[in-house]
Copies of this chain bind each other. A is one copy, B any other.
Amino acid sequence: MLPINNPIVVQHLLKDQIDAISPISDEEFAYILSHFVVKKLKKHAFLVQQGDHVKYDYFVMKGCLKAYVADEDTGKEFIYQFAVEDWWVTDREAYFKKSAATINVDCLEDCEVLGITLENREKLGAEMWKYEHFLSVKANWGYNSLQKRLQMMIMGNAKKRYESFIQQYPHLYNRIPKSFIASYLGVSRETLSRLYAL
C-alpha cells in the first residue's frame, strides 16, 4: 500500500520518455518542463508551415500530425513522417540552422504539443548532464528511424513497403486515412487500396 501522504505522481509522457533514458526526479522534470510551452491545435491547423521561421522542436502529447513536402508543380504532398503521442516533430534542419522551413507539419486530429526553443534546449543541455545525454540518445533514435524509413523506400515494391509499414506501425493503420498512408509509402491511393485486397 502507498503511504497516505505519498505525493501524487503526475503521469507525464515526456517524463516517462526521459526516465527511460536517464532517470530524473519530479523536481528535475518540473524544471525541464518549465522550459517548454504548451500549444493546443485544432484538426487541420499548421504547426510548421513552409517559409516559416521554426522556433520550436515539438513533443506530441496528444493527437496525430503529418510532416510533408509539397510539390509546387503538381500540387501533391509527400509525407515523410507521421507523429503521434510520444514522438517529436519539427523541421529539424530549419530549427537548428534558424533558416526558413522547407516542410509543413499539420494536424490530422486535434493536438496538444510541447514546444522548446533552441535556446532553452541548449540551456538545459548545458545545465543538466542527464538532459544532454537524453538529447544525444534521442538524436540517434531519430537518425535510426530515418534510416529504417529510407531502407523501406529503397527495398522493393509497393507491397513490400506496405507490409513493412503494417508491421512497424500497426496502430497507425486504423488511425490515419489511407490516402495519407499511400503518400507515406510513395504510391497512389488506388494502388494501396488494391494491395490489401489480396
Residues on A lying within 8 angstroms of B by beta carbon are: 69, 71, 78, 80, 92-93, 96, 136, 139-140, 142-144, 146-147, 149-151, 153-156, 186
Closest 10 CB pairs of A and B: A78-B154, A153-B153, A146-B146, A93-B144, A78-B155, A150-B150, A154-B186, A143-B143, A96-B140, A139-B139
Residue of B nearest to A156 (CB): B71
Q: List 30 A-B contacts (CB under 8 A).
A: A69-B151, A69-B154, A69-B155, A71-B155, A71-B156, A78-B154, A78-B155, A80-B147, A80-B150, A80-B151, A80-B154, A92-B140, A92-B143, A92-B147, A93-B140, A93-B144, A93-B147, A96-B140, A139-B139, A139-B143, A142-B143, A143-B143, A143-B146, A146-B146, A146-B147, A149-B150, A150-B150, A150-B153, A153-B153, A153-B154
User: Which residues of chain B are within 8 angstroms of A71 by Cβ–Cβ distance?
Assistant: 155-156
* A92:B144 contact, CB within 8 angstroms: yes
Interface of A is mostly: helix
